[in-house]
Amino acid sequence: MRRAAAAMIFWLALAGLTTAGAPGLASPAAPKAEDDFQLVKVAEGVYGAIAKSGGLASGNAGFIVGDSGVLVVDTFFTPIAANELIAEIGKVTSQPIKYAVNTHYHLDHTGGNQVFTERNVPIIAQENVMKWQTTKNRKFLPTPEEMQKRRADTAKQLADTPADQKDKRAQLERQLSRIDVMMSIKLTNPTITFNSGVLHLYLGSREVILVTLPGHTGGDTLVYVPDADVLFTGDMGWAKTLPNLVDATVNDWVPSLDKILSHHPNSKFVPGHGEVAGAAEMRDFRDYLDQLRTTVKQAIESGLTIEQAKQQLKLPEKYKGFAFQNFAQSNIEDMYKELKGTKQTG
Ligand SMILES: [Zn+2]
């Protein structure tokens, strides 16, 4: 059920069914970078690529320009969006892309990997990404056979829909186009992995530091640019957005965020989802997780079942304006299972 639910969230998002009218869906035949992400200059030579709702990027990415090359942080959800990012990098600098980093295996951060592999750009990740990229990602990307079936079903529905039902036909055409986009994704492994710890990369004189911390998946890397004091958190950080806890260990995540906040009181943060942020937004996110853990623990202690907890626990007012409200309920369930020791990821 959990696999199906997680896949459905992605599926609906990509099919545009959760984001009616989003700009990325206006013209399925001609995707454009500005429909999929917004490029934000965070510091000199440091850019966040902030995903737009309903577009083909889905998760945030970014890039760092040194004086002898470029490092790309995450590859978006689709090869189309990854190619758009490469085109945007080409407008900023003529330097070559030297490295790409996968902050973790989730498909909305790695779906464009194949574009970099085809260009012989090394992709660096924590070693668990190598184990999970082509296995656990199946919960977000149906098999080619399943996709073929969905395509055939949708094409038949379209053929059976009369010409005067314009809205329905347009919706089915969008769905077909999204299926084609998903069918273009080939789950592609990183090419360099490292264990827990720190990796220093040099783009000429500019240093970039890769750090692993537990919490979101157990295979997460953060990317820090010391001379600009910018931290790309991947999905270890979510700005004004409820997180996906499907693979999370909140008991590890809160201490990781405390560590991040103590080391980076004045940094700028490029989160995995949401806008470029400061420490205040990262603290709000840390507090959301901590509060979730406290309230679900109390619910368990007072004898509530998962279903009762989901019905009775209310999202605190402070987080009601956050994006991805659909995660509020599943977060209670994931937290409950983690505390009970019954959570299965995969
Ligand atoms: Zn993620």
Tell me: the pLDDT tens digits for 88-122?
A: 999 999 999 999 999 999 999 999 999 999 999 99
Same domain, 198 and 151: no
Tokens (6 digits) for 265: 């009181």
Residue 293 predicted with pLDDT over 50? yes
User: Is residue 178 located within the same domain as residue 79?
Assistant: no
The rounded Å distance from CA 238 to ligand 1 centre is 10
Same domain assignment for residues 223 and 250: yes
Q: Are residues 172 and 217 in the same domain?
A: no
Q: Of the residues 156, 183, 210, which one is the last residue of a structural domain? A: 183
Give the Å distance between the CA of 22 and the centre of ligand 1: 22
In terms of domains, do 174 and 195 share one?
Answer: no
Distance 166 CA to ligand 1 centre (A): 36
- Identify the DSSP state of 124: E
Q: What are phi and psi of 140, to 5 degrees?
A: -100, -20
Q: In angstroms, what is the span from residue 244 Cα to ligand 1's centroid?
A: 7
- Give the confidence band of 346 by pLDDT, cuts at 50, 70, 90: low
The pLDDT of residue 197: 87
Tell me the CA–centroid distance for residue 203 and ligand 1, in Å. Answer: 27
Percent of the chain with pLDDT over 70: 91
Res 31: pLDDT = 77
C-alpha 152 – ligand 1 centre gap (Å): 30
Ligand 1 geometric centre to CA of 324 (Å): 13
Residue 345 lies inside a defined structural domain of this protein: no
Question: Of the residues 153, 183, 213, which one is the last residue of a structural domain?
Answer: 183
Distance 162 CA to ligand 1 centre (A): 40
- Torsion, CA 76, CA 78, CA 82, CA 88, rounded to 10: -90
CA distance 252 to 26: 41
Q: How far is the centre of ligand 1, averaged over its atoms, from the C-alpha of 207 (Å)?
A: 25
Give the distance (Å) from ligand 1 centre to CA of residue 60: 10
**CA of 161 relative to ligand 1 center, distance in Å:** 37
For residue 85, report the distance from its CA to the centre of ligand 1, in Å. Answer: 19
Q: Is the pLDDT of residue 17 over 70?
A: no
The predicted structure's pLDDT at residue 62: 98
Question: Which pLDDT score, from 0 to 100, does residue 196 have?
Answer: 83
pLDDT at 13: 52
Q: Distance from the CA of 247 to the center of ligand 1, in angstroms?
A: 8
Shared-domain flag, residues 222 and 320:
yes
Q: How far apart are CA 138 and CA 133, in angstroms?
A: 9
pLDDT recorded at residue 316: 95
298 and 266, same structural domain?
yes
Please report whether residue 346 resides in a domain.
no
- Report the Cα 118 to chain-centroid distance in Å: 22
Check residue 264 and give its pLDDT: 98
User: pLDDT tens digits, residue range 162-177?
Assistant: 999 999 999 999 999 9
Distance 180 CA to ligand 1 centre (A): 23
Furthest-apart CA pair in the chain: how many Å? 62
Q: Is the pLDDT of residue 277 over 50?
A: yes
Give the domain extent around 169.
142-183
Alpha carbon of 222 to ligand 1 centroid (Å): 12
Is the residue at 91 inside a domain?
yes
Shared domain for 178 and 252, answered yes or no, is no
| Mean pLDDT value across residues 59-88 | 97
Mean pLDDT estimate for the chain: 92
Q: Give me the number of domains the chain comprises.
A: 2
CA of residue 104 to ligand 1 center, whole Å: 7
Q: Is there a single domain that holds both residue 177 and residue 193? A: no
Ligand 1 mean position, distance from CA 303 (Å) = 31
Instruction: Place 10 in a pLDDT band, splitting at 50, 70 and 90.
Output: low
Residues 58 and 171 in one domain: no
Entry pTM: 0.91
149 plus 238 within the same structural domain = no
Cα 168 to ligand 1 centroid, rounded to whole Å: 32
Quote the pLDDT of residue 124. Answer: 98
pLDDT of residue 23 exceeding 50:
no
Q: Which amino acid is at 194?
A: F
- Ligand 1 midpoint to CA 141 (Å): 14
Whether the CB-CB separation of 96 and 123 falls below 8 Å is answered with: no
DSSP-derived pairing of the beta strands 220-225 and 206-213: antiparallel
If residue 110 lies in a helix (H) or strand (E), which one and from where to where? helix 107-110
With vertex at residue 281, the alpha carbon angle to CA 335 and CA 78, rounded to the nearest 5 degrees, is: 75
Position 344 scores a pLDDT of: 82
Instruction: Tell me the CATH number at 303.
Output: 3.60.15.10
Centre of ligand 1 to C-alpha 101, Å, is 14
Q: What's the 165 CA to ligand 1 centre distance in angstroms?
A: 38
Q: Are residues 222 and 263 in the same domain?
A: yes
C-alpha 123/C-alpha 194 separation (Å) is 11
